[in-house]
Amino acid sequence: MVKTEDMSTMADSWREVFERSRLVPPPRQAVRLAVDSHFTQSHGFQLCLSRLTVAQPPQEISEGGQDLTYQLQVTLFDRSHQHFFGKTWKSQPQRMKTNKIFFDQVLYFHTSLRLPSTVVVLELVSLLPRPDGSQQALGRGFTVLELFINRPEAQPADGDRRLNLHHGSPRNLLHPLLKDAVDYSSLLKAIEGARLDCAIKKHPALVSMMHLLPENVLVSGDENIPGLAASPTGDALLRPQLLKMLPFNLNRLTISLQPSLEKFESRLLQLINADCHNTKQPGPDETLRTVAIQERRLHVGVHNGWCFLEKPQVVVLELLSSGARSRADSTSKQSTLIKDSSSTLSQTLGLRSSLELRLANHHALAIVFQLEYVFSAPIGPETMLSTTSTSRAAFLQCLRWGVWCPFQQPADRNGEELQLVLQGGAKPNPHGVMVYSTEMSAKTQSPVPLSAAGTAQEISEARDTIKFRLSSGLEKKELSPKVSLRSKQEDVPRQRRSPTSPSKGRKYIPPASPPESPQGPGLSLSQLAATSHYPTVSHSSKALPWQQSFPSLLHPSPLASSHQLSHVAQAGLVVSNIAHMEVALQPRGDVSPSAQDEGDQLEELPFTPVHAPIIPVGMNEPSSCTVSSRSSLAHLYSAGFPDIVDHSGQVAEVLDPTEPVPFDPQREDTDLLQGNLLVFQFLAFTRIPTAGVGADWPDNIYFTFQFYRFPPVTSQQLKLVTSGKVQQRAGNPLPCVLASINKDGTVNSGSPGLQLQFRVDEGFLRPGEKRWFLRYLALHTMHIDIWDSNSLLLIGSTAIELKYLLRQGKPAVQALHEVEVLTTDYVGEDPLLASANLGRQSAIRPMTVHTITKGRLHIRTGNIGCPVDASKRGPADIMPTTSHIITPREVTGGFRGGSLSSRNILQLNARNAAQARRLKMDGDLVPLYKRGIRADIIMPGEHDSGTRKLNCMAAVHQWEGKKDAQAAKVMDQEKEAPLARELHQIKPSEDHSKAEGITNMLSQAITTHHLLYASLGSAEYMEFVLKNPFNVPQTVTIHSDDPELSVLTNAEEWGYFKALTRTPTPLEENMFHLEEDAPGPRVYLRPKESIHIPLKYQSFLCDHTMALQGPSFLPTGKGSGMARKNLSNIVAAKTIKVTFKAEDGKPMAIFQVNVEPTPHVVYQTFRLYHPELCFLKKAIRLPPWHDPTEPDGRTHISVRCSDPNIICQTRMLVPGEPQDVYLKVPGSPSPNIKMFFVMVFTDKWMAAPSQIWQIYVHFLERVDVSCVTGQRNCQSLVLRGRQAVRKVKCFSSHPQEIEVDPDSVFLLPPAAVQELQVKVQPWQAGSRFFYVNAVDVEQRRILTAWLLCLNVHRPVLSKAFEVCVPVGGGRGSSRKITYTNPYTRSRTFLLRSDHPDLLQFKEDKFQLSGGESYTIGLRFAPSQSPGSVEILVYVNNQEEKTEETFCVKVNYS
């Protein structure tokens, strides 16, 4: 039966959204230009509107207009075509406060018109209420925000923007003088002092919900978008979550037209034919040409008031008899439907098959029906047709439409037949088309007024209606074939669906991707022409209004794919589709039985490890700086800190750290003071009461940080000095002034605070580095760790923005920062409660990461400009002119002959000077042997005198007589014999030395040297010009003796580095030949040919040596000098040779690279604590980054680690989701600290790291303790002595919950064993982590560190009480509890509470005899806000063991 319940407001929710979502389309020329520019993918954007500042308030406010409010209206505008489009967004009315209007609203939109002409126009409107209740709107000015900027001198499109307001109305932009204007600022008059602060950035998270919202629509996060799940934060578009789409079947669909289908169509054809004859002159053969009905179609889609969720499905309706529902004659489709008076059975339009729709349970989601007819119109002789055209053409016309919301009211409509009224006439409809309506049809219908669209109720017979049944697709599928060829794989969530290849022999149906690909069958007009054998009409100026340009038969429409007409036989296709869906669950036929017996390969589910991510300080919030109170500022300025003055002695200009800083690179380039003296003054530290520590903690502190590429700085000990004259307030503690501590432990009586200076001038910066240094100051924050000097425990971390160090042409600037010192605490649930709630997953206890504020650091930063001597000025501010192309030096002369001395070789290369001297020494030995003198008996400097004596003796013997002459001759012969033998032995060595010298000299002649400055992770690109000197072709093998210097064999990577370095050399595809066993790539050279070999040097390894933990004893102000003298070279210096060998294996050229290391910039510092000798698994949250060159919004983020033993990786997630870097670090013994660097790359080829993180992992001895809240538990620790006697004292991170015995300084002899007693008394249930350090008090070094892993349970409650305490007034409440000693002997009891700030006892200790009662006096502190809290009262004995536990619920009302 037909559903007859009252549903008069069925589509009210949808209509409300639809009426509000109407928009103006963009200009067609802009759309075509975007398509021609390949901007077809829509991108999401986020526009943050913060505040508007004016120089002076309007006159209405000054005259007392308290009801005046302001509104911001935002619209998209195309300045090339001077066309407003989209939909104007209006903010909530806001009042002006102190010349500022705070909007604090976020807008979202997505567009594919990423053209420079697309801008956002923002208008400020004042609203003044009128007596009749309406509001008078008056424009106060407007501004223009550029979205897509292609001018190099303009500001980047993404990021914070400050816009100046202009006089007048946005209608000024329609003036002809402003058409195609590049910059409006020169043509529009600005309002002095009026500016709007906003921020524009990409928002890839909108990709998942773009099918719910049309393009070019500005919406806020609280906008009603059906299909989008509500967010608890109120901003549903920040991280959109979609409602689950469920399948539904639409069947038994019939349409009834009044008064009957025959009369309706007859009247329709008469009107159309009459209109055709009225629009053109009939010829002699025009009387026989009439318009005929070709097909009757129905569009069915799901609409959310904004747009269609998917492209509507199109089905062809058939003529059905209301009696027999038999198929009508096919010839009736092309007939003129002349009325047959003998027909007794009325006909209706029906669909024999069923439709599959996907709906979400939302009251504003609607099913939209549109009845459309396809007519074949006659073509007149004036129409321009091709020779293949026939005499008829097809055109479309919408006749009726209707809307129905299935979830407007909770009802079960499965299987029930529903009726819906169809509308016609000039009314807004979701398809945006003109709908047929005639007076005749209105007169023939019932005089009862039409109900609203979407009304499904009991309808009279005089109304055009549609009947259908809607059933859930999760139930049993019907036997009739579905028109929609949707795969069942889409029922699986998209996150868990993996692509599978289609089975062999089955037709693959590609998955739908809304809104481009329709879910159901899509009819193309080429199919209509093919079915009716009618041609396509080309555009003509005399064409009828309803004639359209259709695709030709020779060029099928893109919609004509696997989705075919419903009346075409598709049984085989449906069956194959179902088989394809089931093939993933069945074993394939080509798999062997043995493989099936082994089991299927398990598929990995999309699982993210539950590692609590570390969020870098200062990442999410633009600034963590707070505004100091006046009392704190007065206290600081009265302490006598040194002033920051410029080079002329004037006090530096003070900048407000809460205001944005404009950055103009041209001002920095034209600054006369090119030197910079950067000053960091650590002034004071404000203690904040923290659980587990005393009110006077910390007492002594020190800092560690790293600025730019200076070495890490560890400050000296600083004492927190409090003044006894100043009155401290509990709610607003005053800062403690920092004072340096001398080596003897006394406080330095000089200037308070700690000042560190860093000089950055032309002598420090390398060529071209100044721009990078300014970019570092403008964009980055400096991470600072604050430590307790006594316990050497980390207090917390903070970060300060360095952009306030930019002078912008000023002599000196300074800024006072008050930043919060934060730390993270991991607290888990109570194990007993967690096991009860989680069931089988009780082993996995959830951890909650809490951010705790440990204090506030007061630091003053300054930058003092320094003059630079022009004669000594270096090229730091000029980009290096060193080309990336290395050309070998041509040798014009050859070897002139002579000995292989160092003189000849030194002319080739100075590096081989030592080798050349060695060759000279070897050559000088030869004359000694020739002169008959043994080289092993000649002392240095005596060989000349010995020769002279022998010659004199020989002359004397010849003069004295023949005998003596003969004796001398015999003596000479006896000496020459062994000398000849030795000379014969040394001759091969002499020849080898000559060959080595010649080879070395020839190698140096073909060697090209290049000096390379490299830093960690940065790739250095160069091209070596290789020339074939021979007259025959050569295949050259390239071999590098270090893998860090490699050849770029990928053409895409080569092109990327060429574009990055602007190297104007040709690029050649497939230039290198790669083999597995070859020493390197090979390249073919023609005779006398020169080619460019691309080379890249990149190192990810470095030295990880680090200083010992603890404060330093640097004198105040010496940090800059120490930093200048101890520049750390972390990457090792090396010499790398690249040899180019010919086919015969001989070198053709040698390229020698001398790597000179330079320090790198550390962006973030992380310190992690972990148990010793076990793997650390941690995740670090990456800041949001979107690559503007990627059309899909995805980012190519890759990471590398400086330690090859550490696993570092990241995973590609969906756009909009946060991305984490996962670390797996092997453990070390306690108290070792492992330091390494993590490089984050945001480009595909990892040219340069966008961020470098320095990570410290502290390994501690793990001690597991299981205890109960409020009760003391003792644990023994063992401390072992080292090689020398040490003075040791133990410290804990929570002194009020952990006590260490002994608590004073004790001697630890060498190789001794000292037992420590740790007394744990926690006050909070769950999993807790505490730290204990054993510190050498003389050397300030950690000997051993322990990590206490507490598993704290709640106690068993004895009694429960409830008390009400009034709110406000400054008065608390007093109550009493009676306690009786259950023992027969006298006992002493102690009273404890887990909230000592809310509850105090009259007496903390009392003694009772056996059976005696005692009244416990309770004093509850007052509260200023209503609420409730549970306070536990512990009655402990003298050993701090809990006797009784009371629970007091305090209600503040």
Segment 1277-1281 mean pLDDT: 92
pLDDT of residue 273 exceeding 70, the answer is yes
Residue for token pair 């390197």 = 1080
Residues 6+ apart with CB under 8 A from 1160: 709, 1015, 1016, 1017, 1018, 1130, 1237, 1252
Q: How confident is the model at residue 913 (pLDDT cuts 50, 70, 90)?
A: very low
Tens of pLDDT along 330-341? 333 333 333 333
Residues 6+ apart with CB under 8 A from 167: 141, 188, 189, 190, 191
Averaged pLDDT score across all residues of the chain: 75
d(CA 399, CA 512): 29
Segment 536-552 mean pLDDT: 32
Whether the Cβ atoms of residue 1289 and residue 1341 lie closer than 8 Å to each other: no
pLDDT of residue 674 exceeding 60, the answer is yes
The reported pLDDT for the residue numbered 925 is: 36
**Sheet architecture: strand order including 1405-1408:** 1359-1365, 1442-1452, 1427-1436, 1387-1393, 1405-1408
Q: How confident is the model at residue 1300 (pLDDT cuts 50, 70, 90)?
A: very high
Residue for token pair 């014969």 = 984
Q: How confident is the model at residue 1380 (pLDDT cuts 50, 70, 90)?
A: very high
- In terms of phi and psi (left: phi > 0; alpha: psi -120 to 50; beta: otherwise), the region of 169 is beta
Segment 792-808 mean pLDDT: 91
The reported pLDDT for the residue numbered 352 is: 83
SS3 (DSSP) at 1154: strand
Q: How confident is the model at residue 231 (pLDDT cuts 50, 70, 90)?
A: confident
Torsion (CA) 183, 186, 190, 193 in degrees, nearest 10: 90
The reported pLDDT for the residue numbered 38 is: 76
Tens of pLDDT along 1158-1198? 778 888 888 888 899 899 998 888 876 666 556 555 667 89
Tens of pLDDT along 1086-1135? 999 999 999 999 999 887 777 667 776 554 443 333 333 344 446 677 89
pLDDT of residue 457 exceeding 50, the answer is no
> In this structure, how many other beta carbons lie within 10 angstroms of the beta carbon of residue 217?
20
Q: How confident is the model at residue 926 (pLDDT cuts 50, 70, 90)?
A: very low
d(CA 1409, CA 520): 87
Q: Shortest CA distance to 304 belongs to which of 7, 13, 9?
A: 13
pLDDT of residue 532 exceeding 70, the answer is no
Between 874 and 190, whose confidence is greater? Answer: 190
Residues 6+ apart with CB under 8 A from 259: 444, 462
d(CA 491, CA 795): 51
Strands 794-801 vs 713-714: parallel, antiparallel or unpaired = unpaired
Segment 943-963 mean pLDDT: 56
The amino acid occupying position 882 is T
The amino acid occupying position 1405 is K
Residues 6+ apart with CB under 8 A from 186: none
The reported pLDDT for the residue numbered 1042 is: 92
Range from 152-166, 834-848, 1173-1187 carrying the lowest mean pLDDT: 834-848
Q: Which two tokens stand for residue 671?
A: 């600054």
Segment 432-445 mean pLDDT: 63
Q: Shortest CA distance to 992 belongs to which of 1050, 1052, 922?
A: 922
HEC states along 665-697? HHHHHCCCCCEEEEEEEEEEEEECCCCCCCCCC
Q: Which two tokens stand for residue 203?
A: 């928002």
Whether the Cβ atoms of residue 1172 and residue 1261 lie closer than 8 Å to each other: yes
The reported pLDDT for the residue numbered 281 is: 52
pLDDT of residue 645 exceeding 80, the answer is yes
The amino acid occupying position 1181 is R
Q: How confident is the model at residue 319 (pLDDT cuts 50, 70, 90)?
A: confident
SS3 (DSSP) at 410: coil
pLDDT of residue 182 exceeding 50, the answer is yes
Q: How confident is the model at residue 972 (pLDDT cuts 50, 70, 90)?
A: low
Between 701 and 972, whose confidence is greater? Answer: 701
Percent of the chain whose pLDDT exceeds 70? 68
Widest Cα–Cα separation across the chain: 168
The reported pLDDT for the residue numbered 280 is: 58
d(CA 1177, CA 1208): 10
> In this structure, how many other beta carbons lie within 10 angstroms of the beta carbon of residue 961?
10
pLDDT of residue 448 exceeding 60, the answer is no
The reported pLDDT for the residue numbered 861 is: 95
Whether the Cβ atoms of residue 211 and residue 114 lie closer than 8 Å to each other: no
The reported pLDDT for the residue numbered 36 is: 80
Segment 904-931 mean pLDDT: 38
> In this structure, how many other beta carbons lie within 10 angstroms of the beta carbon of residue 382?
12
The reported pLDDT for the residue numbered 4 is: 40
The reported pLDDT for the residue numbered 902 is: 43
Q: How confident is the model at residue 442 (pLDDT cuts 50, 70, 90)?
A: very low
The amino acid occupying position 118 is T
Whether the Cβ atoms of residue 563 and residue 518 lie closer than 8 Å to each other: yes
Listing DSSP states for 1093-1135 in one string gives EEEEE---------PPSS-B-PPTT-HHHHHHH-----SPPEE
pLDDT of residue 705 exceeding 70, the answer is yes
Q: Shortest CA distance to 1306 belongs to which of 1298, 1314, 1294?
A: 1314
Q: How confident is the model at residue 462 (pLDDT cuts 50, 70, 90)?
A: low
Q: Which two tokens stand for residue 506?
A: 């089955």
Q: How confident is the model at residue 151 (pLDDT cuts 50, 70, 90)?
A: low
Tens of pLDDT along 979-1018? 566 556 655 556 667 777 777 777 888 899 998 888 899 9
Backbone angles phi, psi at 1245, to 5 degrees: -100, 10
Q: How far is CA 19 from CA 9, 86, 109, 408, in A?
A: 15, 14, 19, 17
d(CA 1375, CA 1390): 18
Q: How confident is the model at residue 8 (pLDDT cuts 50, 70, 90)?
A: very low
Q: Which two tokens stand for residue 1072?
A: 């290198």
Report angle CA 123, 126, 127 to the nearest 5 degrees.
130
Report angle CA 38, 41, 46 to the nearest 5 degrees.
125
d(CA 1277, CA 1279): 7
pLDDT of residue 514 exceeding 90, the answer is no
pLDDT of residue 852 exceeding 50, the answer is yes
The reported pLDDT for the residue numbered 711 is: 86
Tens of pLDDT along 1006-1049? 899 998 888 899 999 999 999 999 999 999 999 999 999 999 99
| Interior/surface letters 56-87, b for 16+ CB within 10 angstroms, e for the rest | eeeeeeeeeeeebbbbbbbbbbbbbbbbbbbb
The reported pLDDT for the residue numbered 837 is: 43
Q: How confident is the model at residue 56 (pLDDT cuts 50, 70, 90)?
A: confident
d(CA 499, CA 510): 10
The reported pLDDT for the residue numbered 300 is: 94
Strands, E assignment, 772-842? 781-788, 794-801, 812-828
Report angle CA 1151, 1157, 1159 to the nearest 5 degrees.
155
The reported pLDDT for the residue numbered 1335 is: 94
SS3 (DSSP) at 473: coil
d(CA 1296, CA 694): 7
Name the packing angle between helices 962-1005 and 913-930 (round to 10°): 160
Backbone angles phi, psi at 51, to 5 degrees: -155, 160
Strands 812-828 vs 653-655: parallel, antiparallel or unpaired = parallel
The reported pLDDT for the residue numbered 648 is: 87
Q: Is 288 exposed, middle or buried (0-12, 13-18, 19+ CB in 10 A)?
A: exposed
d(CA 827, CA 1351): 10
Listing DSSP states for 139-167 in one string gives EEEEEEEESS---TTSPPSSEEEEEEEES
pLDDT of residue 677 exceeding 70, the answer is yes
Tens of pLDDT along 1189-1223? 565 556 678 999 999 999 999 876 666 677 889 99
Between 1085 and 1004, whose confidence is greater? Answer: 1085
The reported pLDDT for the residue numbered 1120 is: 38
Range from 586-600, 796-810, 1366-1380 carrying the lowest mean pLDDT: 586-600
Q: Shortest CA distance to 1120 belongs to which of 786, 757, 813, 855?
A: 757
The reported pLDDT for the residue numbered 507 is: 37
Tens of pLDDT along 1306-1339? 999 998 999 999 999 998 888 888 999 999 998 8
Whether the Cβ atoms of residue 66 and residue 196 lie closer than 8 Å to each other: no
Segment 960-977 mean pLDDT: 54
> In this structure, how many other beta carbons lie within 10 angstroms of the beta carbon of residue 1110?
18
Q: Shortest CA distance to 1276 belongs to which of 1322, 1330, 1232, 1314?
A: 1314
The reported pLDDT for the residue numbered 769 is: 77
Percent of the chain whose pLDDT exceeds 90? 31
Between 565 and 1414, whose confidence is greater? Answer: 1414
Range from 114-118, 783-787, 832-836 carrying the lowest mean pLDDT: 832-836
Backbone angles phi, psi at 636, to 5 degrees: -70, -45
Tens of pLDDT along 678-689? 999 999 999 988
Q: Shortest CA distance to 754 belongs to which of 641, 908, 594, 658?
A: 641
Q: How far apart are the first and last CA of the chain?
A: 59
This prediction's pTM: 0.54
> In this structure, how many other beta carbons lie within 10 angstroms of the beta carbon of residue 602?
6
pLDDT of residue 381 exceeding 70, the answer is no
Range from 239-253, 648-662, 927-941 carrying the lowest mean pLDDT: 927-941
The reported pLDDT for the residue numbered 890 is: 63
d(CA 1142, CA 1035): 6
